[in-house]
Amino acid sequence: MKCPLALVIALILSVSAFAKSDSTILTKTVTDSGSIIYTKNGLTLTLNNKSVNFDTVVLRQRLVATFFEVYPKLLQTFNPDATKHVVFNVDSAYDGVAYASRGQITFNPGWFVKHPDDIDVVTHETMHLVQAYRGGSPGWLTEGIADYVRFKFGVENIGWALPAFKETQKYTDAYRVTARFLAWLEAHVHSGIVVELNTALRTKTYTQNTWAELTKKTLDELWADYAKSPAL
Ligand SMILES: [Zn+2]
């Protein structure tokens, strides 16, 4: 061999590449109580299946894959200090769609039977964990930000879109209506406003004046501008 140094370097590179990729592999362990614990890149997801008479294998794989794709991006963008251990409860006794609370998200498996393409419910709900607001935040804005994040970071969003603007809408309508307003603000008024609003809400510095501090206009003035020219 004429060039052993190159070989050694190549070997070192390949070993370090292997060591690096190793931490990105999803590992899975099953506890005595039946919980499944997944770890990857410093994140842990515990999945508790409390559903009965329901095969959740496909749903479970999609929930887990969506979490590990979206959650690192949301942490990095909005709150690197948010919890690194998340619990998913798949619970057929719960008859809503899903809700997030204190590091846990509860899903109704029946919802995904009827709406198999709605996996970005995971994106919306995990954003609530990243938001980690400690009370006092306007609910319409909290939900509007979570749906804006679904719009921006969702992995599929099949059959889900921001609704067209209508004169009857208000910014307090929450969810997708508010999300579309936030998308418009990002595009036409102040790029990065959602990150800044999120930080203000999390650190409890948010007030009605926050809008004017960021854009020089009040919330009502911004909405009036949006209503006049709502194209994204
Ligand atoms: Zn929500």
Span from the CA of 124 to the centroid of ligand 1 (angstroms): 6
Q: What is the pLDDT of residue 34?
A: 86
Span from the CA of 45 to the centroid of ligand 1 (angstroms): 20
Q: What is the pLDDT of residue 17?
A: 47
Specify the residue for token string 């410093």: 42
3-state helix, strand, coil in the chain (%, to 5): 50, 15, 35
C-beta neighbour count of 30 within 10 angstroms = 10
Span from the CA of 39 to the centroid of ligand 1 (angstroms): 25
Span from the CA of 125 to the centroid of ligand 1 (angstroms): 6
Q: What is the pLDDT of residue 13?
A: 47
Span from the CA of 20 to the centroid of ligand 1 (angstroms): 35
With contact defined as beta carbons under 8 Å apart, do 48 and 89 qualify?
Answer: yes
With contact defined as beta carbons under 8 Å apart, do 89 and 104 qualify?
Answer: yes
With contact defined as beta carbons under 8 Å apart, do 146 and 174 qualify?
Answer: no
C-alpha distances in Å from residue 68, one per residue of 26, 27, 74, 161: 9, 12, 11, 23
Span from the CA of 142 to the centroid of ligand 1 (angstroms): 7
Span from the CA of 100 to the centroid of ligand 1 (angstroms): 8
Span from the CA of 87 to the centroid of ligand 1 (angstroms): 16
Q: What is the pLDDT of residue 25?
A: 87
C-beta neighbour count of 100 within 10 angstroms = 18
Span from the CA of 123 to the centroid of ligand 1 (angstroms): 10
Q: What is the pLDDT of residue 108?
A: 94
Span from the CA of 103 to the centroid of ligand 1 (angstroms): 14
List, by residue range, all CATH 3.30.2010.30 domains of the chain: 27-132
Span from the CA of 12 to the centroid of ligand 1 (angstroms): 47
Span from the CA of 55 to the centroid of ligand 1 (angstroms): 26
Q: What is the pLDDT of residue 121?
A: 97
Please state, in angstroms and rounded to a whole number, the distance separating the CA atoms of residues 102 and 217. 35
With contact defined as beta carbons under 8 Å apart, do 37 and 44 qualify?
Answer: yes
Assigned CATH topology for domain 27-132: Zincin-like (3.30.2010)
Span from the CA of 130 to the centroid of ligand 1 (angstroms): 12
Which has the closest alpha carbon to 121: 76, 155, 89, 82?
A: 155
Span from the CA of 232 to the centroid of ligand 1 (angstroms): 23
- Coil/strand/helix, residue 169: coil
Query: Which residues 6+ apart lie within 8 Å of 223 measured at CB?
Result: 170, 171, 181
Q: What is the mean pLDDT of each run of 10 residues along the chain (232 residues)?
A: 52 48 81 93 94 73 95 98 97 94 94 92 98 94 98 96 98 98 98 98 97 98 98 96
With contact defined as beta carbons under 8 Å apart, do 194 and 180 qualify?
Answer: no
Residues belonging to the chain? 232
Span from the CA of 146 to the centroid of ligand 1 (angstroms): 6
